[in-house]
Amino acid sequence: MRSTTAPGAAPVAPGRLPLLGHLPQLAVRRVEFLQSVRARGEIVRIFLGNRPVYLLNSPEAVHDVMVTQGRKFGKGLLFDVARPFIGNGIITSERDFHRRQRRALQPAFHRDSIAGCVSTMTGIAEEQVSSWRPGEVIAMDLVLRRMMTAMLVSTLFSTERPDGAAAVAELGERVAEHLTTVMRGVFVGTLLPASVASSPLLGHRRYLSAAAALRELADDAVRQARRDPGDGGDLLSVMFAGTPGNPQGMTDVEARDELLSLLMAGAETTSTTLAWALHEIGRRPELTRRIKAECDALPDGALPGAATLPFTERFLREVLRLHQPSWLLMRRALEPVRVRGADLPQGAELIYSALTMHRDPAYYPDPLRFDPDRWLDRTERDLPAGAYVPFALGNRKCIGDHFAMTEMLVALRSIVSRWRPRPVAGHRVRPVVHALIRPNALPMRVSPWPAG
C-alpha cells in the first residue's frame, strides 16, 4: 500500500548524491526510478542536482494540482526551457493569454470541424500505405511520423492555395525532420543545469539550428497565408479570425507560436503512440484480425470513433495507458500551497508522470499486460480522477485530444484493412526515453491479407 505524506513534509527519495542529486538515476533508468519511488508517498522530493522537485505520485495529488487548485500553479521549468524556441503558444503560455488563445483555437477542434478533416486524413493515409509492396520492410516509426505530420500540416494549411498539396507535403517532411531534435533539446535543458545542457557534446547547436528552422518554416507559412487566404477551413484561417476577446485576430507572431505548439504536440506525440500501436499489433495477430474485422464493417461515410470502432478505440486507449509517450510533465507553484498534506513553497517545481500512474497495480491489475478489454471491466469513469491522464487534465487538457484519436483511428484503419504488419526477425524493439518514450526503431514486414 502506498504510504501517505506526513502533514507538512514531503519525504526525499532514496539515493540522493551530493551535487548530483538523483540525476544519475534519471540518466540511467528514468521511468524505473520514478516508478520505484511511488510507494514513498503521495508527494516525494527528488533533486535535479541541488534543485528540489516535487514528484506527484497519486491520482488525488495530480487532480488537486491540475484541477482543484489549478489556478495556483503555472507551467513550470520544462515550459520555460521550451518557450524561447517554440514561442508562447498554447503549450507554453499562461493564464489570461492562454485562455484567450485557447478560446480562439477551439472552433477548429469542435467535433464537426474534425469530422470535416477525416476525408483529408484518409487520403493521406491511403496514399502512403498503397505505395507499400508485399513483403517490403517498412521503417514504421519514420513512416508514421511523416504520415501524422502530413495530416496535421494539411489541416493547418489550406491545400487550395497556389503552392498546393505538394508544397504542403514537402513542408510536412521538413517539419518532421526538426521536431525530434527540438524536443530532445528541451528535455536536456530541463533536467540539466544550463551550463551543462548548452554543451556541444549534448547536441545543443543542432537543437538551436532545428528550432530556428522550425520558426522559419512557421513564419513562412503565416506570411503565405496572409498573402493568399484559403477558403477559411484551415487552422491558420481560424487563427486570423477575430473573436470577442480579440477582435483583430492573432498577430503573425502569435499565429507562428500556435503553429509551433500544435506541430510539437500533434505530430510527435501522435506518431509515437501509433508506433507503439503497430508494435503491439505485430506481436498480437489476434488483435490485428479484430481491428481489421471492425474496420472492414465500418459503413461508408461513418466517422471513426468510439461508437463506430469500439474495439479499435479501446485498443488505442490501452496503448496510451501502457505506452504513454509523454512520461514527464511539470508545473510550478505560483504561491505557497498545501497539496495532500505537503506544504509546497512558492516557486516549487512539480513533476508528474502519466506513464507511471498508468502502470499502478492499484488501478490496473497486472499493469504490464496489454489488454484492450480491461476497459470493458473498468471504464475510465470508474477510475479515480487523475488515474488515467493521457491528455492531461483541467484547463490545460490537450485541446486536440479528439483530433489525435481520430487521426490514429484513420491511420490504423488504412494500414490494417490492407496489410498485416509483422516484426522483423532478430530486431528487438526497446523504449528510448528522451522528451518522449519512443521505440528505438520499428522495422516491420507487411504482407497483404489472403483473398476471401
Q: What's the chain's Rg over C-alpha atoms?
A: 22
Q: Which pLDDT score is estimated for 261? A: 83
Cell of 242: 477575430
Q: Which pLDDT score is estimated for 364? A: 95
Per-residue pLDDT tens over the stretch 348-383 = 999 999 999 999 999 999 999 999 999 998 888 999
Per-residue pLDDT tens over the stretch 296-326 = 999 887 888 888 999 999 999 999 999 999 8
Which residue, among 336, 324, 342, 326, has the nearest Cα to 54 in the 3D structure?
Answer: 342
d(CA 355, CA 254): 32
Per-residue pLDDT tens over the stretch 383-403 = 999 999 999 888 778 888 999
Q: Which pLDDT score is estimated for 196? A: 63
Per-residue pLDDT tens over the stretch 400-450 = 899 999 999 999 999 999 999 999 999 999 998 877 888 999 999 999 998
Strand pairing class (329-333; 137-139): unpaired
- Give the pLDDT band (50/70/90) at residue 71: very high
Q: Which pLDDT score is estimated for 163? A: 47
Per-residue pLDDT tens over the stretch 100-140 = 888 888 888 888 888 888 988 999 999 999 999 999 999 99
Looking at domain 23-448, which CATH architecture does it have?
Answer: Orthogonal Bundle (1.10)
pLDDT score of 50 more than 70: yes
Q: What percent of the chain has pLDDT over 90?
A: 44
d(CA 429, CA 244): 50
H helical segments located in 87-163: 95-105, 111-115, 118-129, 140-156
- Give the pLDDT band (50/70/90) at residue 229: low
pLDDT score of 168 more than 60: no
Instruction: Output 357-366 pairs: Cβ under 8 A, ≥24 positions apart.
Output: 357/59, 357/62, 357/386, 357/387, 357/388, 357/389, 358/320, 358/321, 358/322, 358/324, 358/387, 358/388, 358/390, 359/35, 359/322, 360/38, 360/387, 362/2, 363/59, 363/387, 363/388, 364/321
Q: Which of 16-20, 71-75, 102-106, 375-379 has the lowest mean pLDDT?
A: 102-106
- Domain positions in the chain are 23-448
Question: Quick check: 288 and 423 in contact, CB under 8 A?
Answer: no
d(CA 260, CA 87): 7
- Give the pLDDT band (50/70/90) at residue 211: confident
